[in-house]
Amino acid sequence: MSISAQNAFSAIEIQVDRGQEVAVAKLVDDYMKDAKFKEGSGFNLERLRQGSGDFTHRFVFYGPIGNRGRVNSDVNEFERDAFWTKVRQYIKKSRGYSGRVIDWKQGNDKQNNFLVYYVQVKDPTSYAKAHKTILKKLGNTEFKNRTVAFGTFDIGRPENATHWIGLSGEGTDDLLMMHKNLQEKYVKEVTEYFSNRGEVIDLKDVRIESVAQYN
């Protein structure tokens, strides 16, 4: 799920019936496996887990704002349309949104799960400062191996969220252990974070599992 700060992303969440996941993954791999992306761009296929409602998977296209995606000569319009026509046969419903990555600290390769919080941030400046502060304080301990990130939802805001906050883990139990440690071992740091970040309304959280990455 490696994405750099100051990148843009567009995501499409889809609902696929049980048993059809493999077919969708195969279509994606056939279309993306030989793709040539612009520098810093890529595509992620993700499985949506707890908290996702009816949606089961997510396509994420990311890259530098204004210069992302595949190189111009890499795929033609016919190939692109054919891919989406095939994928739509398996999609029961979908929704899309776009945003930006404001800050991204990359974790290690074992961190293939992501807990994403959908939030409304009332004071982005205070939040950004609080985020950087707790990341600095826990960067060599609880957050050492984790991806820690946040960014904006700018178009098609899901759940009417203005921002997202992401923390990685190796799976559900690792993410639960992270919460336990934050609540028990790092009370001072977490309390300061909540006190200094300004008003933030938590809307929902979703666990996301990486299926395939292309870049």
SS3 for 123-179 is CHHHHHHHHHHHHHHHCCCCCCCCCEEEEEEEECCHHHCCEEEEEEECCHHHHHHHH
Assigned domain for 121 exists: yes
Average pLDDT, the chain: 95
Instruction: Give the pLDDT band of residue 4 (cuts 50, 70, 90).
Output: low
How many CA within 13 A on the CB side of residue 195? 6
Q: What confidence tier does 97 reach under pLDDT thresholds 50, 70, 90?
A: very high
Q: According to DSSP H, which parts of the chain are helical? A: 21-32, 77-88, 124-138, 172-184, 187-196
Q: What span, in angstroms and rounded, lies between the C-alpha atoms of 186 and 78?
A: 54
Mean pLDDT (whole number) for 136-142: 96
Residues 94, 22 within the same domain: yes
- Which structural domain, as residue segments, surrounds residue 51? 7-99
Look at residue 5 in the predicted model and tell me its pLDDT: 55
Q: Are 103 and 139 in contact (CB under 8 A)?
A: no
Is 185 part of any domain? Answer: yes
Mean pLDDT of 183-194: 98
pLDDT (0 to 100) of residue 75 = 85
Beta bridge partners of 153: 99
Helix (H, G, I), strand (E, B) or coil at 38: coil
> What pLDDT shows up at residue 170?
96
Of 5-14, 36-45, 140-149, 187-196, the range with the lowest mean pLDDT is: 5-14
Mean pLDDT over 70-76 rounds to 86
Residue-level pLDDT at 127: 98
User: In whole angstroms, what is the distance from residue 188 CA to residue 194 CA?
Assistant: 10
Which positions ≥6 away from 161 have C-beta within 8 Å? 118, 119, 120, 153, 203
Put residue 4 in one of left, alpha, beta given phi > 0 → left and psi -120 to 50 → alpha.
Answer: beta
pTM (2 d.p.)? 0.93
Is residue 73's pLDDT more than 90? no
**Are the C-beta atoms of residues 64 and 6 closer than 8 Å to each other?**
yes
Q: Say how many domains are in the chain.
A: 2
Q: Is the dihedral of CA 89, 94, 100, 106 positive or negative?
A: negative
pLDDT at 3: 58
Residue 1, in any domain of the structure? no
Lowest-confidence region among 1-15, 59-73, 127-141, 161-175:
1-15
- Split at pLDDT 50, 70, 90, the class of 72 is confident
Residues 159 and 174 in one domain: yes
User: What pLDDT score was predicted for residue 109?
Assistant: 83
Q: How far apart are CA 87 and CA 46, in angstroms?
A: 15
CATH number of the domain bearing residue 89: 3.30.70.100
- Based on the fold, state whether residues 137 and 94 are members of the same structural domain: no
Average pLDDT, integer, range 18-30: 96
- 181 and 139 in a single domain? The answer is yes
